[in-house]
Structure 1
Amino acid sequence: MTPDTHDQYAPESSLNPRGEFGDVFDFIVCGSGSSGSVVAARLAEDGTASVLLLEAGGDDAAETVSNPAQWPLNLGTSRDWGFVGQPAPGLNGRRLPLSMGKGLGGGSSINVLVWARGHKGDWDHFAAEAGDDAWGYQSILGYYRRIENWQGAPDPARRGVGGPAYVAQPQVPQPVAEAMLRAASTIGIPVYDSPNGEMMEGPGGASIAELRIRDGKRESVFGSYVRPLLSQPNLTVLTDALVT
């Protein structure tokens, strides 16, 4: 697989020239979205393997990416693959947009920044279907704790601190969010301090969403996993590199 065109990504943390490894790499990861960023970082982190991370889109320097309030402005632009769904009979034949991020960070650079973990019932269902308890909720909790750098109230059984993914509750929730929680409580829906802790183990509930915002700016998965490693000579990131 070769990129059709490419520009070397030159972030604030300088990257060693591509020529240091030439055109030969131990691993080539296609796509710098949430999955690709994690894979590339895990392969490169110990410094022994040379890793090339290819991204079809451009960089993540735009204010529409970094400014959480501007996230809708990315939809339908060059930072969106622009996929659409099949015509839906229930929508009078309309095809709904299926926005997916194109650029460093992929969807985690254009989404609404919510950190939402899977429900216990979902994970246990996956485990049952796979016949493998490693997919079950109790097992997955260990991965969540490893991933998170949770900024809220301590919950050692369910939340992690010191991981790569910064997660925090909004400092000033919107008044409509507070009103919705009060309304939920009024009609008997339990209200939780966090949507990703105990609430994910019960039949339902309401809570204010947690966000991937650090110091007022979006933190994508690329920002969490890959950017801290960009100074390593064994990691090369190429943008505008469409793989065919």
Structure 2
Amino acid sequence: MTDYIITGAGPAGCALAARLSEDPSVKVLLIEAGGRDSHPYFHMPAGFAKMTKGIASWGWSTVPQKHLNDRVLWYTQAKVLGGGSSINAQIYTRGNPRDYDIWAYVHRCAGWSYAQVLPYFKRAEDNQRFADTYHASGGPLGVSIPINPLPINEAFIRAGQEYGLPYNPDFNGARQEGVGHYQVTVRDAKRSSAASAYLKPLRGKRPNLTVRTGTLVTRILVENGRAVGVEVVENGEKSEIRCEREVIVSSGAIGSPRLLLLSGIGPAAHLSEVGVKVVHDLPGVGENLQDHLDVYVIAECTGDYTYDNIVKPHRTAWAGLQYLLFKKGPVASTLFETGGFAYADKSARSPDIQFHLGSGSGIEAGVARLKNAGVTLNSAFLHPRSRGTVRLKSADPNNHPLIDPNYWSDPYDRAMSVEGLRMAREIFRQKALQPFILAERMPGPEIESEEELADYVYKTCKTDHHPAGTCKMGVDDMAVVTPELKVRGLEGLRVCDASIMPIVNSSNTNAPTIMIGEKGADIIAGKEPLPAVNLQPVPELTQ
């Protein structure tokens, strides 16, 4: 019998499985509903362009968003070994130090301050450029800078400075604000996903680690107040798998609350409503959903300055040869390699807008593609006050969950999103980009008023793929897990992924989720935490 069952081989699940199985006396079973990451698209950095369009995805959407004129948004959630780290844009950002200090000091999650989690970011990291207080090399996860940024990317960095933002060579260092190139989870021109970083090197070398793909966990088995195993469906056959120590739920900010609810763990009224037997009344499960809403500007270029025309057959062939022979060119690009952080609200605790410069138009699902070469600037508001839910449609595990991010339910989020859109437009109008940009096409220069911009956002906005918070960590009545990641009121059950975040971090979520897996493994194994980094304290924290 196995000791630990981990449900979900996403960023946290892969890190957990690798770290827990370092002890040869412990048997670990990692279960993933999706398949293996064998397709070449998973390993080519530019393969991201295919991913948001449905490859290796659950195929879920939101419920109609009542504050966005009832829009239904496509909601990409990974279904593959490596989870989101196998299909994302490979941007390596951690958020702001204040995010984690808020976890620790406002939400009273002892042990999760920035000084205390930074060592786990560093333990995970194999950074090819930085080695200092904030970075390290030798870890599993490859982190690099873009190898061949386009001239328009460099012009964007100059334009950002003309707009008034400082140049920043390291968004994960001493300062977050500014513009520059992102660090990316790429090593030797290949995606460094959690699967390739943590699991691939162990293949055939860890007899105590078993990885099962194509296996759907449908229920956690609870007996006498203790999780004792899981129910799974594999090749259409249902069976039970039991464990000696713990079940660790690591299925993501949508999948983890969904699995708990299907198991009868969650708000009793909702469970009864959908026909699930109540095993443990825990009101916070599926509450507190937070996500970054993405709005964007698309401009037409004066020439062939981005990757839009790579789709032409002869150019696709040449791009493939470039990649195979020289590990350069469009295929080696993550397509969102440059960006920055800024303030929409000058009184915000930390930068509240993130920019992602897209090297083309129509890169992501649902985003318009121009006839001629274009360039995209995404803007995401990072401190949403709106809170949503994850609920079940029925007791049938084959039914899609009801995902309601409840975007813009707080008017402040709307105001800041629109301000971020205005800021993106202004950066595109700076002198440095004039040789590259012919005209703004979306929303278009004729769109100026608050209501016109909001109407444009209603029609075009999308998720930034950063859901979090649905099994939040804390000590209040709505907390799902303790700071030790234990599900409150049950034994032998923990949650370890982005769902435990009390507030979503102020950036992309892949690196923090891997950190949660790294730190969670030490907590579960009963190890002493890594020594905190000696940093200056941050005063006067607010949510």
Does the aligned pair in 2 maintain the 1:133–1:139 contact within 8 Å?
A: no
Deviation at 1:185, TM superposition (A): 1.0
Consecutive unaligned residues in structure 1, runs of 5 or more: 1-23
1:207 corresponding residue in structure 2: 180
2:41 corresponding residue in structure 1: 64
2:161 corresponding residue in structure 1: 185
Normalized per residue, the structure richer in helix is: 1
Q: Secondary structure at the match of 2:17?
A: helix
1:160 corresponding residue in structure 2: 136
Instruction: Determine the C-alpha separation between the residues in 2 that align with 1:109 and 1:122.
Output: 25
Instruction: Determine the C-alpha separation between the residues in 2 that align with 1:143 and 1:40.
Output: 15
Q: Secondary structure at the match of 2:159?
A: helix
1:240 corresponding residue in structure 2: 214
2:172 corresponding residue in structure 1: 196
Does the aligned pair in 1 maintain the 2:35–2:79 contact within 8 Å?
A: yes
- What amino acid does structure 2 have at the position aligned with 1:123? Y
Does the aligned pair in 1 maintain the 2:8–2:32 contact within 8 Å?
A: yes
Instruction: Determine the C-alpha separation between the residues in 1 that align with 2:50 and 2:195.
Output: 20
- What amino acid does structure 2 have at the position aligned with 1:112? A
Deviations along 1:147-176, one digit per CA (max 9) or x if unpaired, are 11111143x211111111110001112323
Instruction: Determine the C-alpha separation between the residues in 1 that align with 2:61 and 2:5.
Output: 28
Deviation at 1:33, TM superposition (A): 0.5
Report whether the alignment pairs 1:170 with 2:146. yes
Across the aligned residues of Structure 1 and Structure 2, the Cα RMSD in angstroms comes to 1.6
Deviation at 1:76, TM superposition (A): 4.1
Give me the TM-score of the superposition, normalised by structure 2. Answer: 0.39
Deviation at 1:143, TM superposition (A): 1.6
User: For structure 1, which segment, 26-35 or 85-94, has the greater mean C-alpha deviation from structure 2 after superposition?
Assistant: 85-94
1:16 corresponding residue in structure 2: none
Instruction: Determine the C-alpha separation between the residues in 2 that align with 1:97 and 1:159.
Output: 35
When residues 120 and 33 of structure 1 are mapped into structure 2, their CA distance, relative to the original with a 3 A threshold, is: same
Give me the TM-score of the superposition, normalised by structure 1. Answer: 0.83
Report whether the alignment pairs 1:222 with 2:198. no
Instruction: Determine the C-alpha separation between the residues in 2 that align with 1:92 and 1:40.
Output: 43
Instruction: Determine the C-alpha separation between the residues in 2 that align with 1:152 and 1:37.
Output: 25
Instruction: Determine the C-alpha separation between the residues in 1 that align with 2:130 and 2:198.
Output: 24
Report whether the alignment pairs 1:145 with 2:114. no
Report whether the alignment pairs 1:110 with 2:84. no
Does the aligned pair in 2 maintain the 1:76–1:82 contact within 8 Å?
A: no
Report whether the alignment pairs 1:51 with 2:28. yes
After the TM superposition, which parts of structure 1 deviate over 3 Å for at least 4 consecutive aligned residues? none
Deviation at 1:78, TM superposition (A): 5.1
Aligned residues: 217
Deviation at 1:121, TM superposition (A): 1.8
Does the aligned pair in 1 maintain the 2:27–2:208 contact within 8 Å?
A: yes
Instruction: Determine the C-alpha separation between the residues in 2 that align with 1:78 and 1:149.
Output: 28
Deviation at 1:47, TM superposition (A): 1.7
When residues 240 and 159 of structure 1 are mapped into structure 2, their CA distance, relative to the original with a 3 A threshold, is: same
Q: From the CA coordinates, give the structure whose radius of gyration is larger.
A: 2
Deviations along 1:165-207, one digit per CA (max 9) or x if unpaired, are 110001112323211210111122111112211223xxx2122
1:12 corresponding residue in structure 2: none
Deviations along 1:111-134, one digit per CA (max 9) or x if unpaired, are 111111120121121122233552
Q: Which has the higher contact order (CA 8 A, sep 6+)?
A: 1
Does the aligned pair in 2 maintain the 1:45–1:229 contact within 8 Å?
A: no
Instruction: Determine the C-alpha separation between the residues in 1 that align with 2:108 and 2:47.
Output: 43
Deviation at 1:83, TM superposition (A): 2.1
- What amino acid does structure 1 have at the position aligned with 2:203? L
Deviation at 1:36, TM superposition (A): 0.9
1:131 corresponding residue in structure 2: 108
- What amino acid does structure 2 have at the position aligned with 1:210? Q
1:97 corresponding residue in structure 2: 74
Does the aligned pair in 1 maintain the 2:130–2:136 contact within 8 Å?
A: no
Q: Secondary structure at the match of 1:237?
A: strand
Instruction: Determine the C-alpha separation between the residues in 1 that align with 2:92 and 2:25.
Output: 32
Deviations along 1:59-91, one digit per CA (max 9) or x if unpaired, are 101111111112121234351012222322443
- What amino acid does structure 2 have at the position aligned with 1:69? A
When residues 132 and 238 of structure 1 are mapped into structure 2, their CA distance, relative to the original with a 3 A threshold, is: closer
Deviation at 1:235, TM superposition (A): 1.1
Instruction: Determine the C-alpha separation between the residues in 2 that align with 1:95 and 1:157.
Output: 43
User: For structure 1, which segment, 124-133 or 205-214, has the greater mean C-alpha deviation from structure 2 after superposition?
Assistant: 124-133
How many percent identity over aligned positions?
A: 38
